[in-house]
Chain A
Amino acid sequence: MQIIDQVCSPNIFGKPVYYNVLELKETQMIGHDPLTNTHRYWIPVDADLDDTSAYIDPLDQIDYNFEADFALYREKFNFLTAAEITKSRENLGLTPDEAALILGLTTEKLSDIENDGCLQSFDQEILLRLLTTPDSLHQHVQRYHALIELRAKQADMDVDALFAKLEKINAK
C-alpha cells in the first residue's frame, strides 16, 4: 500500500474533507475470474488505513478502478477492447441496433460494452468477435437467417436493406 497524494473534496455543507489517496495491489474477481491489479482509493485522513471498508473509489473519477480492471482483463484474456468493437461494427457499416440484433444481444448491452459501462462476458466476446471476421459473420447470418429476419421485422427494421447490407459485407 502506498499513499500517493492527499486531496480535498467538499462535503454537502461546503466544508472541506481531506482524503489520503492510496494505491495498492489487489486480486479481485473481475467478470467471475481472478485478476490482480493496482487500485486507487480515497480514504478520509482520520480513518484507519487498514480499514478497507472505509475505502471509496476516487470521487473525481468513479470509474477509475473499473476501467483499469476491465482494460487489464481484456488485455490478459485477449478480449476486444470497447474501441475495437465499435470500430469493427462501424467498418461493417452496421448500426448498434443492427449489430445487436444479428448477434442476439440487446442494443443497450452492446452500447454499454462499447462505452465501457460493462465488460463483455466470455459468451458475448465470442459473438462480438464475429464483427472482426466477415466470413464467420456471414456464416452466422446464413445459419440464423430466419430468426434474424423475424426479429428485424418485429423491430420494424428494413429487412431487405439489412440483408442487402450483409450481402455487401460478404462480397467485400
Chain B
Amino acid sequence: MNDESDIQFIIQQILNDYRAGRLKYYLHEKSRLYLKQEGISASKVLKLAIAQLPTSHFYRGPSDHHWLPKFVVYEFIELNHGVNLYVKFDVGPEYTQLESYHPQEKALNVTWFFH
C-alpha cells in the first residue's frame, strides 16, 4: 500500500476504533520491557500510539496476521522524544489491537511514505 488516501483511511479506522473503545492492548515481551523502562503504563501506551499516529511514517502493510485469520497488520514508525518507535496494529473486523510499541531495531530499507 503506498497510496496516501489508503493510508489515511486505515489510520482513520484505527482512530475510530480507539474512540469507540475498540483498541485493545496486546503487547508482548519486547514492548512491555520498553514501556517499563520508560515508566509508561499499558493504558497510557494506547493513548501515546494513537496520539502520534497521524504524524507517523507508514512503514508496511497490509499483511496477513500470522494467527488471526481475519486481521491484517499495519506497521508504522512513530517519533517520540527523538526515538523512532516501531508500532504495529492488527486491524480486524470487530476491533484493532496494538501488538508492538518499541524502538525501531534496524534501519528500514524501504522508501518511506510520509503522509
Q: Do A and B interact with each other, yes or no?
A: yes
Q: Footprint of B on A, CB under 8 Å?
A: 12, 28-32, 52-57, 62-63, 65-67, 69-70, 112, 116-121
Instruction: Report the separation of the CA atoms of residues A121 and B81 in the bound assembly, to the nearest whole angstrom.
Output: 15
Q: Does B68 contact A (CB under 8 A)?
A: yes
Interface residue ranges of B68-89 to A (CB < 8 Å): 68, 70
Smallest Cβ-Cβ distance to A55: which chain B residue: B29
Contacts known (A56-B28, A57-B25); A12 close to B92, Cβ less than 8 A: yes
B residues near A (Cβ < 8 Å) are 25-29, 32-33, 35-44, 47, 68, 70, 92-95
> Residues of A contacting B38 with CB < 8 Å?
31
Distance of A75 from chain B, by nearest CB (Å): 15
Closest to B94 in A: A12
A12 to B93, Cβ gap below 8 A? yes
Sample (25) of A-B pairs whose CB atoms are under 8 Å apart = A12-B68, A12-B70, A12-B95, A29-B37, A30-B39, A55-B29, A56-B26, A56-B28, A57-B25, A57-B27, A57-B32, A57-B42, A62-B42, A62-B43, A63-B42, A65-B32, A66-B35, A66-B36, A67-B41, A70-B41, A117-B40, A117-B43, A117-B44, A118-B44, A121-B39
Q: Which residues of B contact A54 (CB under 8 A)?
A: 28
Query: Once bound together, how far apart are the Cα atoms of A53 and B99, in whole Å?
Result: 12
